[in-house]
Amino acid sequence: MTNEEIEVAALRLDPRSRARLAGRLIESLETLSTEENAEMWIEEALRRDAELDADPSAGRDASDVYRDARARLS
C-alpha cells in the first residue's frame, strides 16, 4: 500500500478514528532520535529552498512575517 493509498483510507475514517490516528501519529514523532529529527528538518529546509528557487514570488518579506506574527499574538 502506498502512502497516498494510506492517506485516502485514513481520510475515509470517521472523525473519532481520524483523531485517534492523528494522535498516535503525532506521538510517534515525539520518539524520534536526535539524528532522525535533524534529518527531517534538513529535508524540510531543502524542500522549502527548492520551492523558493522554483518560484521566488512565493516568498514573503521577513518584516511582513514578523508583523503578521505579532498581530496574531496580540
Cβ contacts of 58 within 8 Å, gap of 6 or more? 51, 52
Average predicted confidence (pLDDT) for the chain: 95
Packed helices 3-11 and 15-29: angle between N→C axes, nearest 10 degrees? 140
Amino acid at 38: A
CA 37 to chain centre: 13
The per-residue pLDDT for range 16-52, each reduced to its tens digit, is 999 999 999 999 999 999 999 999 999 999 999 999 9
Q: Are 38 and 65 found together in one domain?
A: yes
Domain total in the chain: 2
Q: Are 26 and 43 found together in one domain?
A: no
Q: Which residue in this structure is represented by grid cell 516568498?
A: 59
Q: Which domain holds residue 60?
A: 33-74
pLDDT value of residue 22 = 97
Q: Are 27 and 37 found together in one domain?
A: no
Q: Are 14 and 38 found together in one domain?
A: no
pLDDT value of residue 52 = 93
The per-residue pLDDT for range 49-67, each reduced to its tens digit, is 999 999 999 899 999 999 9
Q: Are 25 and 41 found together in one domain?
A: no
Using the 8-state DSSP alphabet, how is residue 59 labeled?
-
**Half-sphere exposure (Cβ direction) of 46: Cα atoms closer than 13 Å:** 6
